[in-house]
Amino acid sequence: MIYTCLINTPIGEIRTAAENGALIGLWFTGQKYYPVQVGTWVNNQDYSVFESLRDWLSDYFAGRCPGQAIELNPGGTDFQRSVWEALLRIPYGHVTTYGEIAKQLGCKSARAVGGAVGHNPISILIPCHRVIGSNGNITGYAGGIDKKRALLKMEQPDII
């Protein structure tokens, strides 16, 4: 069974989804690639994953680097999962480029990496907002560029 709950954050409402004790999704309400199956999910604000997530988000939005104590299960293809694992290695307060991730993975296409980054189903915790263009520009974010800027500014105020 997939459980869901809505959580308000300082930069907008998010919908979360969890299954078998793991977080499987976190999206800004209405973002690009917002899940269509939410109508069949069961609302459960008290599911233990969501309680842990609320604590994690509280620390994060208070400007503290939270630990990764929440089990994540984003699904995806093998390639997408390899990109998302690379995102998890980007330290809090740092950024990298799509090209750098492509090099790390031995992939010839920064565009393919960008596609996987864009389809990351667990925003913020799998920090796709920490990936910028090779020229330093703040590019693409399924939740909106304004949210990406806000997340980056919160983690590293001098980046914006």
Query: Which residues are tagged catalytic?
Result: 128
Q: What's the CA gap between 141 and 31, in Å, rounded?
A: 9
The interaxial angle of helices 78-88 and 110-118, nearest 10 deg, is 80
Of 7, 9, 10, 30, which is closest to residue 18 (Cα–Cα)? 7
Q: Are 88 and 80 in contact (CB under 8 A)?
A: no
- Reading the block at residue 62, the tokens are 């208070």
Tally the residues of the chain.
Answer: 160
Contact (Cβ atoms closer than 8 angstroms) between residue 102 and residue 110:
yes
Q: Which CA distances in Å does 26 have to 22, 38, 106?
A: 12, 12, 28
